Amino acid sequence: MMKSFSESYRAAGVDITAGYKAVELMKKHIARTRNEGCVDDVGGFGGCFGLNLAGMEEPVLVSGTDGCGTKVKLAILMDKHDTIGIDAVAMCVNDIICCGAKPLFFLDYIACGKNIPEKIAGIVSGVAEGCVQSGAALIGGETAEHPGMMPVEDYDLAGFAVGIVDKKKIIDKNRMKPGDVVIGLASTGIHSNGFSLCRKVFDIDSNPDSLYEAREELGGKSIAETLLTPTKIYVKSILALLEKVDVRGISHITGGGFYENIPRSIPDGLGAKIDKSAVKVLPIFDLIAKTGNIPERDMFNTYNMGVGMSVVVPAAEAETALEILRANGEDAYVIGEIVESGDKVILG
């Protein structure tokens, strides 16, 4: 049993015993994420993971790190902390799957004004759920109490993921050709980007009560409930797709929207011609644009607009790709094609 205790440190604002309690509370959540690579329990100085390299000629590790942006402020405002961890995982694993890498493990970092064990365990429960959805093991993390740096009720959350792929199977955008098809995978909403604009548009900081009213245009949900919907994790469906289809490009549509993210998976000389009328824009994006008088160009350059990820496949394999993605729970549909162009994205 841990007997470490410092009255002086607690008087300065840091209760180390709260950290021990938080670890005990989160262990049941972490246990859900264990996979074949886990080799020890949480609580040491480093997370250990055993690599199974069977069948790989040149294994390559792929890493990603990210946070949830100011979406965390909404979680704090609503006092709901059990889903924001899904966002932290999603932002990392959705990035590394764009290379074709299977996530192996994840670590989180939580900075807080005051360590309230139940709140920290709630945050980690969301992280664990994100890890379960992506097949990654939660092998460690850090909770840092920062009195004086942030209000006691505040916290921030970030994460780090590592995946693996055989070098010959890394997605190579240079194989992309004119006529290839761009498929969109539906998002669950805002995901984890553009919340500073959301807070401004809906005047969240000054008028938070308006967030909780049921809105007909949002299917009876409130703005708060809609905005806090966790980021979709696409790992398992993309891994299933990679087994059967020649995928030539994958884009995770995050901050910067279509204009910043789709170009990252397209080689010079080619562009993605996106049919805007084909994009299933979610009601929350229409509400943001209308409420804030936001131009369409800015919306597509800030938000995912209902498409959380795009994949490029040969035209001859498009129907097969759609069947696989839909069989794995995705609302997938064609949103455009690859064309010869000096512009990486053409929305029309």
pLDDT in tens, 314-342: 999 999 999 999 999 999 999 999 999 99
Element (H, E) at 213: none
Q: What is the mean pLDDT of residues 160-186?
A: 97
Q: What is the 3-state secondary structure (H, E, C) of 74-118?
A: HHHHHCCCCCHHHHHHHHHHHHHHHHCCEEEEEEEEEEECCCCHH
pLDDT over 70 (residue 11): no
Place of tokens 């000389």: 269
User: Which stretches of 168-254 are DSSP H helices?
Assistant: 195-201, 223-227, 235-244
Give the model's pLDDT for residue 159: 96
Q: What is the mean pLDDT of residues 280-291?
A: 97
pLDDT band at 209 (very low <50, low <70, confident <90, very high): confident
Give the model's pLDDT for residue 1: 47
Give the model's pLDDT for residue 206: 84
Collapsing DSSP states into helix, strand and coil, what is residue 134?
helix
pLDDT over 90 (residue 42): no
pLDDT over 80 (residue 33): yes
pLDDT over 50 (residue 118): yes
pLDDT band at 95 (very low <50, low <70, confident <90, very high): very high
pLDDT over 90 (residue 172): yes
pLDDT over 90 (residue 23): no
Q: What is the mean pLDDT of residues 229-239?
A: 98
Nearest to 33, CA basis, from 130, 143, 171: 130
194-221 burial: b if 16+ Cβ within 10 Å, else e: bbebbbebbebeeeeeebeeebeebeeb
Give the model's pLDDT for residue 106: 98
pLDDT over 60 (residue 2): no
Give the model's pLDDT for residue 10: 66
Give the model's pLDDT for residue 12: 58
pLDDT band at 344 (very low <50, low <70, confident <90, very high): very high
pLDDT over 70 (residue 5): no
Instruction: Output the pTM of the full model.
Output: 0.94
Q: Of 37-46, 85-94, 104-113, 205-214, give the lowest mean pLDDT range.
A: 37-46
Q: How far apart are CA 226 and CA 215, in angstroms?
A: 10
Phi-psi region of 119 (alpha: psi -120 to 50; beta: other; left: phi over 0): alpha
pLDDT band at 9 (very low <50, low <70, confident <90, very high): low
pLDDT over 90 (residue 46): no
pLDDT band at 240 (very low <50, low <70, confident <90, very high): very high
Q: What is the mean pLDDT of residues 216-235?
A: 95
Query: How many CB atoms neighbour CB 60 within 10 A?
Result: 16
Where does residue 42 rank: exposed (0-12), middle (13-18), buried (19+ CB within 10 A)? middle
Phi-psi region of 283 (alpha: psi -120 to 50; beta: other; left: phi over 0): alpha
Tell me the per-residue pLDDT of 71-91, one tens digit each, with 9 for 90 and over: 999 999 999 999 999 999 999
pLDDT over 70 (residue 41): no
Percent of the chain scoring above 90 in pLDDT: 84
pLDDT over 80 (residue 247): yes
